[in-house]
Amino acid sequence: MVENALNKKQIQALIIMFIFGATLVLGVNTRANQDSWIAIAIAAVLILPMVIIYGKILSLYPGKNLFDILIEVFGKLFGKTVCSLYIFYSIHLGSMVLRNCSEFIKIQNMQETPMILTSCFMIMLSIYTASVGIINVGRLSKVTFKIVALFVILITILNIPNMDFTNILPILNTEPKVLMKSSFEIFAFPFGETVLIMALFSEVNKKENPTHIYLKSILISALLLITANLRNLFVLGTKTIDLVYFTSYFSTSVISVGEFFTRFEVIIAINFLTASFVKLSVCVLVSCIGLSKLLNIDNYRVTAVPCGLIVLTMSTKLYSNTAQMFDFIKTYPYYAFPFEVLFPIIIFITAKIKQKKNSTKPAKPQEKAVTNSSAQTQT
C-alpha cells in the first residue's frame, strides 16, 4: 500500500470535481434544448460500461497507473507511443480548461486585465499543486466537493421564485437522432474524460475497489449536473441558453433575497474556479506522471514546470477566441473517442488474453524442481 494513499472518499471527490471542472458554469450540450437533462441521463448510462472497464483494468494491475499498464500490456515501444498520445491529450485538455477559466474571468470580472496574467497565475498554482503531489489534491477535493455540492443545491432552491416550469415542455420533443448525438457529446465531455484519473490510481489505497469508486462518482456527478441543468432551463429557457456561454452564471445572477442579498453569481464563479483549478491541476499532474514514465524519471514532480508551461502555451495559441473553442467542442467527441473508448477496450481485451495465457502456461523446469523439493521436504 502507498504511504498516505488516497482513500475512497478522496478519490471519489476528485473524480466528481474533475467532471465539474468546466460544466458548472459552461453547462453541457444544449443541442437537445429542453431535453438536455435527458441527454445527461443517457450519457451517464452510456458511460457506465466504460468506467467499469476502467475499473477492471485497474483491478487487473493493482498499485499501477495508466502509464504503467500501457507499457505492461503493449510493451516498451508501442506502450510508450500510446503514453505519448495520452500525455498530449492531458495537456490539451488542461489548456482548454485554463482557457475557459481565463476567458470567464476576463469577460465577467476583469475586462481590462490581460488574459495572459490570469492564465499565468492559475498555471503557477497548478504547477505548485502538481509538485506537492496528488495526496494534497485529493484532500482539497474532499473539502471543496462538499462546499460545491451544497452551493449547487442552495442556488437551485433560491432560484425557485424565478423558475418557469413550463420551460421543460414538451418533453421528448427532440428528434431521437439529435438526442443521441447530444448524449454522445456529453459522454465525451465531461464523463469520458475521467479516463485520465486512471493515471492517479497508483496513489490510491489498494484495498479500494476502482470500479465501485468510478460508478459512485459518475452517479453523484450526473445527479448534480441534471439538477444544475434543470435549474438553468427553468430560469433562462432554451432561447436564452442558446445565446450565452456561461449559463449557470447567468441563471444565478437573477437571484435577489430582499434588498441587500444579491450578486449570488459570485458563489457560482467561486465554485467554477475551484472545480476548474482541481481539473487543471489533475491534467498537469497526469502529464507529469506520463512524461516521467516516458523519460524514465523516478520523481514525476520535477516535470511539473515544463508540463505546466506547455499547457500555458497551448492555451494561448490553440484558439483565437471563445467562439472558436466552442466550435472545437462540437467535434471534440470524435477526437476524444480513441482515448476514452478505443484504447481502454483494447487494453482490457489484451490484458485479459495475457492473463489467460499466463494462467495456462506450464511451469518451467526450475519451478517444478522447487515445487517437488518443497513437497519432499514436507513429507
- For each successive 10 residues of the chain (379 residues), what is the average pLDDT? 76 95 69 92 97 97 96 95 98 93 83 88 94 89 91 89 94 93 93 97 93 97 93 90 79 70 73 90 96 94 96 90 77 95 97 87 55 49
Nearest to 42 by CA among 56, 55, 28: 28
User: What is the secondary structure of 243-287 as a DSSP string?
Assistant: H-S-HHHHHHTT--BTTTB--THHHHHHHHHHHHHHHHHHHHHHH
In this prediction, residue 243 carries a pLDDT of: 79
Using CA atoms, how far residue 168 sits from 123, 226, 238, in Å, is: 39, 13, 9
Using CA atoms, how far residue 197 sits from 14, 138, 244, 364, in Å, is: 9, 12, 30, 38
Nearest to 71 by CA among 293, 283, 288: 293
Q: Which three cell numbers stand for residue 38?
A: 435527458
Give, in words, the CATH class of 8-378: mainly alpha
The residue extents of the domains of the chain are 8-378
Query: How far is it, in rounded angstroms, from Cα 23 to Cα 275?
Result: 9
Helices 8-26 and 76-108, interaxial angle, to 10°? 50
In this prediction, residue 270 carries a pLDDT of: 83
Biggest CA–CA distance in the chain, Å, is: 89
In this prediction, residue 277 carries a pLDDT of: 93
Q: CA end-to-end span of the chain, whole Å?
A: 36
In this prediction, residue 379 carries a pLDDT of: 46
In this prediction, residue 370 carries a pLDDT of: 47
